[in-house]
Chain A
Amino acid sequence: MTWYAFIGALEQGLVYGIMVLGVYLTFRVLDFPDLTVDGSLPLGAAVSAVAITHGMNPFVSLLLAAAAGFVAGSITALLNTKLKILHLLASILTMIALYSINIRIMDGPNISLLGVPSVLDPLMALGVAGYLVAPAIYGLFALCITAGIIWFLHTELGQAMLATGDNPQMITSLGVNTHHIIIMGVGLSNALVAVSGALVAQNQGASDVNMGIGTIVAGLASVILGETVFGKSGVVRACVAVLLGSVLYRLAIALALGVKMGTFAFTPSDLNLITALLVVVALMAPKIKSKFSGNSAP
Chain B
Amino acid sequence: MIRLSRFTKYFHKGSINQVLALDHLDLAVAEGDFITIVGSNGAGKSTLLNCLAGTHQPDEGRLLLHGDDIAHWPEHRRARFISRVFQDPLMGTCATLTIEQNLALANRRGARRGLAIGVKRSDRRLFRERLTRLGLGLEHRLTDGVGLLSGGQRQALTMLMATMVQPQVLLLDEHTAALDPKTARQILDLTRSIIAEQGLTTLMVTHNMRHALKMGNRLIMLHRGKIILDIQGEEKRALSQEDLVARFYDSQPEVEVSDRMLLG
Interface residues of A (CB under 8 A from B): 152, 154-160, 162-163, 166-167, 169-178
Are B97's CB and A166's CB within 8 A?
Answer: yes
Q: Given the interface contacts A159-B105, A160-B105, does A175 sit within 8 Å of B111 by beta carbon?
A: yes
Q: List 7 A-B contacts (CB under 8 A).
A: A156-B108, A158-B118, A172-B76, A173-B79, A175-B80, A175-B110, A177-B76
Which residues of B110-135 have CB atoms within 8 Å of chain A's CB atoms? 110-111, 113-119
Chain A residues positioned under 8 Å from B113 (CB to CB): 156-157, 159-160, 176
Additional pairs, 6, CB under 8 Å, beyond known A156-B117, A175-B80: A154-B117, A155-B115, A159-B113, A162-B96, A162-B97, A177-B76
Q: Are A162 and B83 in contact (CB under 8 A)?
A: no
Query: Are A173 and B83 neighbours in the complex by a CB distance under 8 Å?
Result: yes
Q: How far is the CB of B169 from chain A (nearest CB, A)?
A: 12
Other-chain residue from A157, A173, A176 in contact with B115 (beta carbon distance below 8 A): A157
Q: Are B93 and A167 in contact (CB under 8 A)?
A: yes
Shortest Cβ gap from A174 to chain B (Å):
5
Q: Contact check, B84 vs A173: say whether CB atoms are below 8 A apart.
A: yes
Q: Are A173 and B97 in contact (CB under 8 A)?
A: no
Per-position binary interface string of chain B over residues 176-197, scored 1 when its CB falls under 8 Å from any chain A CB and 0 otherwise: 0000000000000000000000
User: Nearest Cβ in chain A — how far from B252, in angstroms?
Assistant: 33
B65 on the A face (CB < 8 A): no
From A166, A173, A174, A175, B95 is in contact (CB under 8 Å) with A166
A159 and B109 within 8 A (CB): no
* Bound-complex Cα distance A175 to B106 (A): 9
| A178 CA / B93 CA spacing, docked (Å) | 16
Once the chains are docked, how many angstroms separate the CA of A167 from the CA of B93? 8
Interface residue from A155, A163, A172 paired with B114 (Cβ < 8 Å): A155
A169 pairs with B91, CB closer than 8 A: yes
B interface residues with partner A (beta carbon < 8 Å): 53, 74-77, 79-80, 83-84, 86, 91-97, 101, 104-106, 108-111, 113-119, 161
* Closest beta carbon of chain B to A196's beta carbon, Å: 23
Residues from chain A with a CB closer than 8 A to the CB of B53 are 173
Determine the distance from Cα of A233 to Cα of B229 in the docked complex, in whole angstroms.
Answer: 51
Contact of A155 among B93, B106, B110, B118 (CB under 8 A): B118
Q: How far is the CB of B149 from chain A (nearest CB, A)?
A: 14
- Across-interface contacts of B84 in A (CB, < 8 A): 173
Contacts of A159 in B (CB 8 A): 97, 101, 104-105, 113, 118-119
Q: Please report the C-alpha to C-alpha distance between residue A157 and residue B75 in the assembled complex, in whole angstroms.
A: 19
CB neighbours of B79 from chain A (8 A): 172-176
Contact (A171, B105) CB under 8 Å given A155-B115, A157-B113: yes
B87 to chain A, nearest CB (A): 12
Whole-angstrom CA separation of A173 from B78 in the bound complex: 8
In the complex, chain B residues whose CB is within 8 Å of the CB of A176 = 76, 79, 113
Chain A residue contacts of B94, Cβ below 8 A: 162-163, 166-167, 170-171
Q: Write out the residue numbers on chain B whose beta carbons fall within 8 Å of the beta carbon of A174.
A: 79, 105-106, 108-110, 161
- Residue of chain B at shortest CB distance from A167: B94
Contacts of A167 in B (CB 8 A): 91, 93-95
Cβ contacts under 8 Å, B109 to chain A: 174-175
Counting chain B CB atoms within 10 Å of each CB, the highest count among A171, A172, A178 belongs to A172
Residue of B with least CB distance to A28: B96
Task: State the CA gap A154–B53 with chains docked (Å).
Answer: 28
Residues of B close to A173: CB separation below 8 A? 53, 75-76, 79, 83-84, 92
With a cutoff of 8 Å between Cβ atoms, the chain A residues found around residue B104 in the complex are 156, 159
Which residues in B have their C-beta under 8 angstroms from that of A162? 94, 96-97, 101
CA A57 to CA B12, docked complex, whole Å: 58
Shortest Cβ gap from B189 to chain A (Å): 23
Min CB distance, A32 to chain B, in Å? 15
* B103 CB to nearest chain A CB (Å): 11
- Which residues does chain A contribute within 8 Å of B77, judged by CB atoms? 175, 177
The minimal Cβ–Cβ distance linking A1 to chain B, given in whole angstroms, is: 37
Task: Please indicate which of the listed interface residues A167, A171, A176 has the most CB atoms of chain B within 10 Å of its own CB.
Answer: A167
A177 nearest in chain B by CB position: B76
Determine how close the nearest CB of chain A comes to the CB of B202; give it in whole angstroms: 16
Residues of chain A lying within 8 A (CB to CB) of residue B106: 174
Report whether B118 and A175 are in contact in the complex, using a CB–CB cutoff of 8 Å: no
**Nearest A residue to B113, CB-CB:** A156
CB-CB nearest 3 A-B residue pairs: A175-B79, A156-B113, A159-B118
Given the complex of chains A and B, what is the CA–CA distance between A215 and B109 in angstroms?
A: 38
Once bound together, how far apart are the Cα atoms of A178 and B105, in whole Å? Answer: 14
Task: A156 to B83: give the CA distance in the assembly, Å.
Answer: 19
B171 (CB) vs chain A CBs: closest residue: A173
User: How far in angstroms is the closest Cβ of chain B from A168?
Assistant: 10
Residue of B nearest to A169 (CB): B91
Residue numbers in A under 8 Å from B101 (CB-CB):
159, 162
CA distance A175 to B117 in the complex (A): 18
Chain B residues, Cβ within 8 Å of A178: 76
